Amino acid sequence: MKKGFENSSAIFLVFLGLISLFPSLVLAQGRNQEVTIVAPYQPTISDARKLDIKPVVKDSLVEIPALEYSILQVAPLPQTFTPDPISPVYIEIENKDTLRRNYLRAGIGNYTTPYAELFTNTLKSNKFSLGFHAKHLSSSGQIAGYATSKYSQNQIWLYGQRYLRDYTFTGNVFYKRDVAHYYGFKPDNYIGLDFTDDDLKQRFSLIGAEAGIESTYKKNGDLNYSAKADFYNLTDLFDSRETKVGIGGTANTKNEFMDFVDEQELGTDGQLDFYRNADSLNSQGTAVISLQPYIRLGFDELNLYLGFRGTLAADSVTKFHLYPAINLTYQIIPEYLQFYVGVNGGLQRNSYRLVSDQNPWINPIFPLGFTNTKYQVKGGFTGKLDMVLDYNFSVAYADIENMLFFANILADPLSSAIPENLGNKFTGIYDDVQLTTVKAEFAWQQSYNLSISLAAEYNNYKMTNELKPWHKPAFNTKVGAKYQLNPKISLSGELFYRSKVYAKLFVSDPQNFTDVNAFLDLNLGGEYCFNSRISAFVQFNNLTGTQYYRWYNYPMQRFNAMAGLTFSF
């Protein structure tokens, strides 16, 4: 016990000693001392150590556990209700898209005018198409005061196409037989003149054929081409005849040889025509060769066609002509407003077939020749208004060499010779012309039931030698309308207007000519459908009953009407 106390005393003494020393330690820390250490600073960056970690795909096979199941067989509930059977409803559905092979239209009108027309065609096929067309229209009527004006028009066409993967073959053969009479005089003015109807008859017989091939490649860079050959032979009752053989073709390819152009086409068109003409006095051969290389460039709203046409014509002389072929179209407002302009030219052969189609009362010995359009500048606008009105407006100026005009052959009354032509035949006169043409066309369709169209054309002829543009009007217009009154009845109408023309008189005074009055021709028609196969139609022509003249000395029939039926089978 004493020893423990001694130890405690010793510890206490030591503690007191430490307390006595604490003030001195505190005072020693309160002293103000400044220590400056000067040494160079060298910043360093420790080396980075790239972790070499590579991704590892652990390929683990997941086993699909086998499923075991069983179908519990449950007995059906007993049925206590039995419904009465219902008979199916018969619904007759008329297929409006049913195609029929044949269409026949036939009728008869006053002036003893029978009419018949037949169309026959194969049904839809992706391999071939074959069709047949025949037509007959004639009239035995008489125009008061004039010689017999009987006429007939007949034609037969057989045509077809064969479709292959990359080619399309086309071909057709045709025959036309048209009869007219030179009735353009009044027999009472020639007392004692002995003639029969056959003496005034003219008949044109035309037979021909065409064949062609056209490629249908669609990839850019492919060479697309077409080739065509045609032939016809035309004869009449006065030993005039014409034979034509033609060969033509095109070649074009679409490539991307300019990066800034969206669509590019490079191509050429070529044509070779040979004519052989003969009449009771002479015969002659004519060859026409033309070649037109071009490039067509298409941008977003702009399309540009650049080319030229070279034509070589050879008959009694040989001439070479070079024409521009430049056309530009620009979409100002897509679908609504498009501007176009072009400069073109060309050579036209006034063949016996062409002039007899225009005027069947030409003299069989006719001065055939060429009409040379040196150039024609044409520009205009086309588009839509409110999606119901299509329009086209254009202005053109052309410099034409040897434009063809028709003039009656009239004998000089001071001559002692008996007139052989009585003014009832036409010959051709050629003259150089500067022609300005303004044309406007409109087509309005408010709905499926009603559509109206209008076309008007004004021509200004600046003649070089002739006084007037013989038998060519300054103004022409045509208005047409169609109206579907109901599903069975449809109506149609046409209104024609032609301004006056001038006819040249071959008399001792070359300044002598006469006017051919302007005329208005109103036609109306209607059709009633009994069903999808049979309908009836009526047609009324020249409702005003005016006796007007398209050619001098040749009056047209007054009011005439026709009624008939159509059959689809």
Say whether pLDDT at 34 is over 80. Answer: no
Comparing 205 with 66, which gets the higher pLDDT? 205
**Per-residue pLDDT tens over the stretch 489-514:** 999 999 999 999 999 987 556 678 89
Mean model confidence pLDDT for the chain: 86
Identify the band that residue 422 occupies on the pLDDT scale cut at 50, 70 and 90: confident
**pLDDT (0 to 100) of residue 508:** 56
Comparing 253 with 194, which gets the higher pLDDT? 253
Identify the band that residue 459 occupies on the pLDDT scale cut at 50, 70 and 90: very high
Domain limits, the chain? 97-206, 217-382, 386-396+430-569
**pLDDT (0 to 100) of residue 387:** 80
**Per-residue pLDDT tens over the stretch 218-237:** 887 789 999 999 999 999 99
**Per-residue pLDDT tens over the stretch 336-370:** 999 999 999 999 999 999 999 999 999 999 999 99
Q: What is the mean pLDDT of residues 448-465?
A: 95
DSSP-derived secondary structure for 251-275:
EEEE----TT-SEEEEEEEEEEEEE
The whole-angstrom separation of Cα 403 and Cα 355 is: 12
Query: Could you give phi then psi for residue 60, rounded to 5 degrees?
Result: -125, 135
Angle at 32 between CA 30 and CA 35, to 5 degrees: 130
**pLDDT (0 to 100) of residue 5:** 44
Distance, CA of 293 to chain centre:
22
The whole-angstrom separation of Cα 145 and Cα 46 is: 127
Distance, CA of 120 to chain centre:
24
Q: Please report, for residues 296, 399, 456, 470, 504, the alpha-carbon distance to residue 403 in angstroms, rounded to integers and kept in the order given.
A: 31, 10, 22, 11, 16
Q: Tell me whether residue 253 is exposed, middle or buried, using C-beta atoms within 10 angstroms of its C-beta: 0 to 12, 13 to 18, 19 or more.
A: middle
Count of C-beta atoms within a 10 Å radius of residue 407? 19
**pLDDT (0 to 100) of residue 245:** 98
| Lowest mean pLDDT, pick from 14-23, 81-90, 182-191, 479-488 | 14-23
**pLDDT (0 to 100) of residue 134:** 98
Q: What is the mean pLDDT of residues 530-541?
A: 95
Q: Tell me the pTM.
A: 0.79
| Lowest mean pLDDT, pick from 127-141, 216-230, 242-256 | 216-230
Q: Which residue has 């196969």 as its token pair?
A: 533
Tally the residues of the chain.
569
**pLDDT (0 to 100) of residue 22:** 44
The whole-angstrom separation of Cα 157 and Cα 140 is: 25
**pLDDT (0 to 100) of residue 255:** 80
Say whether pLDDT at 377 is over 70. Answer: yes
Q: Please report, for residues 63, 88, 519, 533, the alpha-carbon distance to residue 91 in angstroms, rounded to integers and kept in the order given.
A: 59, 9, 55, 21
